[in-house]
Amino acid sequence: MKKLMATIITGVMLSTNVIATAPFSVVGSFSKISFEDGENIKWHVGGENATHEIVSEVPGSLDGVVDGTKAIKLNMNARTDNWGAITALTIQPKDGIPWNLGKNDIMKMSLTNLDSFDSSIRINLFDVAGNNRMVFFTVPANSTRQIEITPEYFGTAGEKTEKWSSDGFSGKGIDVSAMTSMRLHFPEPEPKFIPGQNRTSLIIDNIFVEKGPTEPTLPIEGSNFPTTSFEDGVAKTWNITGPFFTHEIVTEGAVDGTKALKVTLTERSMDWSKRTNLAIIPHNAVWNMGTATSIVATVTNPLDAAIQLRCNLFDTAGNTRMVYFSIPPKSTRELVFGPEQLGTPGVKNSKWGADGYDSNGVDKSALKGMTFYMAEPELKTMPGVTSPVYIIDNITIR
């Protein structure tokens, strides 16, 4: 059917101790999903009126198989008015490591409607912070449509926007670098969708990510904030102190050059004043980010359990901002300290979740301290992890 199907390609462009609690947030690439044997995903179908089947290619017919030789057919055999019992296909990474998409990437998938009436599909997208973005598309009768979930449809993490039309979206945008699952379902309890029909089916295949354009790098002016990447022959600006740690320069986790810093807490200190600190800005130095808007750092978690890494930022006015991030097991994540994380100088605000921040915002033109550490005494953070480890590289601005 691959060459004969009527494919509709759409353009839906689709030091102060500040304490926090959280765990979880990300990296892990997105591999194509086409329901072939051996794919690195786990999926399940649920719903009180749901059935499903793996369908095979039938040459010369509208079979819904677009990539490989198989696809999945999701059947709603009757409508329910209970949102908790709707027909739904949930897809997750098999290894539990969240999918990591670029900011401008586009997710595409092929949906085939064998019915003689238009159908509607909704897709809930979830991230590690608990954001839930619902996107929806109409699939015309007797056709295959390749839908596109574009940056507009993914939204901005944590920001609620909506668009209601034949295609659209609603709810909070997600962090596309920390996507945990997707759920495809029919809007069964709402009779205005797929009106007059009590049953429908869709065949789903070839879910993949198309890389989007790279944003141009603008020159940074007025900055003296150097890149810290732990390479040989580079002046050392960092320092580690604490009672129970080891550190070494390693190649694992290096993203700028060939070296990174691995910090191992040999045990967790129960005294906040005696924790292990990695200080990046030298004593008596003041760093200015200039026209840059964000600090970034790449962190690798080599453990089988999630870790949380915190950072205190200090400015010359005496403000201290605590920012924290979580990194899933066996994964690498770029941490971004953007305008929200840096805050407004002297203005106190907080965000508590998988990632977050607390206390006064800092002046990005007058940073006198930047200290990475872990919540060693706080046993509800990283529970059961007695010897936390992190690998860090490429601390810089953009």
58 inside domain: yes
Distance of CA 103 to the CA centre of its chain: 10
Based on the domain organization, do 55 and 161 belong to the same domain?
yes
pLDDT tens for residues 211-245? Answer: 888 767 678 899 999 999 999 999 899 999 999 99
Classify residue 230 as left (phi > 0), alpha (psi -120 to 50) or beta. Answer: left
Same domain, 43 and 142: yes
Q: Is residue 169 part of a domain?
A: yes
220 in any annotated domain? no
Answer whether residue 84 is part of any domain.
yes
Q: 24 and 144: one domain?
A: yes
Domain extent for 71: 7-210
Using alpha carbons, select from 373, 386, 392, 390 the residue that is nearest to residue 16: 373
Task: Give CA 15 to chain center in angstroms.
Answer: 31
Q: Per-residue pLDDT averaged across 362-366, rounded?
A: 98
- Those residues with Cβ within 8 angstroms of residue 36's Cβ, 6 or more apart along the chain or in another chain: 68, 69, 70
Same domain, residue pair 128 and 274: no
Listed residues 194, 210, 226: the one ending a domain: 210
In a domain, residue 49? The reply is yes
Specify the CATH number for the domain of residue 32.
2.60.120.430
Considering 210, 227, 258, which residue would you say is the last residue of a domain?
Answer: 210
What is the C-alpha separation between 145 and 152, in angstroms, rounded? 19
* 194 and 47 assigned to the same domain: yes
Token readout for 185 is 């379902």
Q: Does a structural domain hold residue 215?
A: no
pLDDT of residue 2: 37
The answer to whether residues 202 and 92 belong to one domain is yes
**Location of structure tokens 């005696």:** 274
Share of the chain above pLDDT 90, in %: 77
pLDDT grade, residue 53 (50/70/90)?
very high
Flag whether pLDDT at 326 surpasses 70: yes
91: pLDDT confidence band, cut at 50, 70 and 90? Answer: very high
256 shares its domain with 393: yes
Percentage of the chain beyond pLDDT 70 is: 92
Amino acid, single-letter form, for residue 276: T
19 has a pLDDT exceeding 60 = no
CA distance 106 to 154: 9
Residue, of 262 and 211, whose pLDDT is higher: 262
pLDDT of residue 203: 98
Give the confidence band of 253 by pLDDT, cuts at 50, 70, 90.
Answer: very high
Instruction: Output the pLDDT for position 27.
Output: 34
Confidence at 277, pLDDT banded by 50, 70, 90:
very high
Q: With contact defined as beta carbons under 8 Å apart, do 88 and 76 qualify?
A: no
pLDDT > 70? residue 25: no
What is the number of structural domains in the chain? 2
Same domain membership, residue 295 and residue 163: no
| pLDDT range class, residue 317, cuts 50, 70, 90 | very high
What is the C-alpha separation between 316 and 271, in angstroms, rounded? 26
In the predicted structure, residue 248 carries a pLDDT above the cut 90: yes
Task: Report whether pLDDT(180) > 60.
Answer: yes
User: Residue 134 and residue 162: Cα distance in Å, rounded?
Assistant: 9
| DSSP codes of every residue in 120-132 | EEEEEEEETT--E
Q: Do residues 255 and 289 touch, judged by C-beta distance below 8 A?
A: no
State both tokens at 198: 């009590």
Identify whether 276 is part of a domain. yes
CA distance 144 to 9: 9
> Is 376 part of any domain?
yes
